Structure 1
């Protein structure tokens, strides 16, 4: 890299655990970053955004939940889920339609604790990947503890976080900041506080925004 072009670029990704477009978008963003020769300069940080803060704590099958939410027959939501599954498969990602859904606040709170340990993005990625692959039920406390321990977090500390309401204010602050920046849903990504994208973009789409962000960052460094 040339002088002035090696500055770290902060990429902030507002996401929710159960959002399939967040799952696709995160992996496509990571693929776009990995294609770049300066991939190490990008600092991706997960930010919290609950799509349904009033969701019940008790898990229920996702297809039943969607049918009730949209007021359509089960066959309709099965078709909808099948389309997303096909997109995930095309991206090389596992995706099961027989999964549970519930309130995600506990996962967001835990992600903030993990971020303090430098493991926030790694934890959230592991939990979300396991969730959509059907290998992890994040609404089961001990399975969530196991996932946290697998990325290097202390299991007892994780249990303490999950048993209380620690980091709830941090989750709310993330949501308020995202909304102030223009987020009305997720995924919502902000690049170096210069640009933002809403919804899951293609790998090529993310690559274009990354290139523009880096170019503007270099131009700003030169001007300074």
Structure 2
């Protein structure tokens, strides 16, 4: 009979594709899991949460978007990006300011399809990594299809999902559940439905919660 120390643990991360803190936080969480001797017990699962459900469909440059959103000067916006880039670099992660931003709803819908195939977190992480590295435009469906095929999904089915409205309700259900659990922004991490943290913790911070949970 298995003891409590052998039981699987689900770690759910409410995340949005274009959120730099989600990018940092997910990698730090994964690093905290990887350093544990019982790392195989922990399943990190991405859940949907749009930071801006009313975001436009037409992509715009991230610096222009941030200047409009926060009302800062170009210099202030570049300084904001530079601070996050420095944190990413310190974590060994690429970070490009040559990014576009737009509605992330299609990516969330596709992630739910991928999750049915056991590839939800793999797909979302790959797309987010490519986005922040500046090597992938996830708002271009052709590039998104290529990324999905690269992780093992079937191109025709991916195009069908992106061309329709499949998994709309699944995305909305994730967002509603996240808010019900206390999420007001992302990343919002729930550990075995026992603990929750908001924001991009450091690796040690995530490790502390995992140890408490285990």
TM-score between the two structures when normalised by the length of structure 2? 0.99
SS in 1 for 2:75: helix
Question: What corresponds to 2:42 in structure 1?
Answer: 42
Q: Once the 2 structures are TM-superposed, how far is the Cα of residue 3 of structure 1 from its aligned partner? A: 3.1
Q: Are positions 1:88 and 2:88 aligned together?
A: yes
In 2, Cα distance between the equivalents of 1:3 and 1:158? 40
Question: What corresponds to 1:111 in structure 2?
Answer: 111
Q: Are positions 1:31 and 2:34 aligned together?
A: no
Question: What corresponds to 2:57 in structure 1?
Answer: 57
Question: What corresponds to 2:213 in structure 1?
Answer: 213
Larger Rg computed on CA atoms: 1
Q: Once the 2 structures are TM-superposed, how far is the Cα of residue 131 of structure 1 from its aligned partner? A: 0.2
Question: What corresponds to 1:159 in structure 2?
Answer: 159
Q: Once the 2 structures are TM-superposed, how far is the Cα of residue 98 of structure 1 from its aligned partner? A: 1.3
Structure 1 stretches lacking a partner, 5+ long: 215-224
Q: Once the 2 structures are TM-superposed, how far is the Cα of residue 4 of structure 1 from its aligned partner? A: 2.9
Which 4+ runs in 1 deviate beyond 3 A? none
Q: Are positions 1:182 and 2:168 aligned together?
A: no
Question: What corresponds to 1:3 in structure 2?
Answer: 3
Q: Once the 2 structures are TM-superposed, how far is the Cα of residue 5 of structure 1 from its aligned partner? A: 1.0
Q: Are positions 1:19 and 2:23 aligned together?
A: no
RMSD of aligned Cα (Å): 0.7
In 1, Cα distance between the equivalents of 2:124 and 2:180? 23
Question: What corresponds to 2:201 in structure 1?
Answer: 201
In 1, Cα distance between the equivalents of 2:140 and 2:159? 12
Q: Residue deviations 1:7-44, cap 9 Å, x none?
A: 00010000000000000000000000000000000011
Q: Residue deviations 1:174-209, cap 9 Å, x none?
A: 000000000000000000000000000000000000
- Residue-pair matches, total: 213
SS in 1 for 2:13: strand
